[in-house]
């Protein structure tokens, strides 16, 4: 009799716990899947926003590069207009040296052999050229 007073409530509690798990587990699984889906949606939305922002940044950079190219072209056109086809050989040498300096600053200076020329004909005797001036 004493044993039945202990066993009966224990069995009832065990049956209640089993019933609770049978009822609660499917609902928990549904809730867990819902939360996982919401997390996946939030992640996908964030990734989409990142892609959009990267595309906007690339577009802005391309616009700025285009503006810089237009400004460079305008500068070149103005310089050509100012020079009006009257470039001297000294100015051409200056531009050549400036280009070499830029290449040297970048560390991309190739081996260059300079051969003075007049009208694409090499000047072989530099002493005669010096004396004529």
Is residue 37's pLDDT more than 60? yes
Q: Dump pLDDT digits (tens) for 50-96.
A: 999 999 999 999 999 999 999 999 988 887 777 776 666 777 777 77
pLDDT grade for 130, boundaries at 50, 70 and 90? very low
8 Å CB contact between 121 and 114: no
Q: Let me know: does 46 contact 52? Beta carbons within 8 Å.
A: no
pLDDT of residue 50: 97
How many other β-carbons are positioned within 10 Å of the β-carbon of residue 21?
11
**What are the residue ranges of helices labelled H in the chain?**
2-83, 89-106, 126-132
Greatest mean pLDDT among 28-32, 74-78, 124-128: 28-32
The pTM of the full predicted model, rounded to 2 decimals, is 0.44
Cα 117 from Cα 48, distance rounded (Å) = 60
Confidence of residue 129 (pLDDT cuts 50, 70, 90): very low
CB-based contact 88:94 (threshold 8 Å): no
Sign of CA dihedral 27, 33, 35, 38: negative
Specify which of 1-10, 16-25, 89-98, 106-115 reaches the highest per-range mean pLDDT. Answer: 16-25
């Amino acid at each position: 009799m004493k044993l039945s007073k202990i066993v009966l409530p224990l069995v009832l509690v065990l049956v209640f716990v089993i019933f609770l798990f049978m009822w609660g587990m499917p609902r928990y699984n549904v809730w867990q899947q819902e939360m996982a889906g919401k997390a996946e949606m939030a992640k996908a939305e964030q990734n989409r926003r990142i892609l959009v922002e990267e595309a906007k940044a690339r577009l802005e950079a391309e616009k700025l590069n285009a503006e810089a190219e237009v400004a460079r072209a305008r500068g070149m056109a103005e310089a050509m207009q100012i020079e009006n086809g009257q470039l001297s050989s000294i100015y051409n040498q200056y531009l050549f040296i400036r280009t070499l300096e830029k290449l040297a600053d970048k560390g991309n200076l190739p081996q260059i052999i300079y051969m003075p020329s007049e009208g694409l004909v090499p000047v072989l005797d530099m002493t005669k050229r010096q004396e004529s001036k």
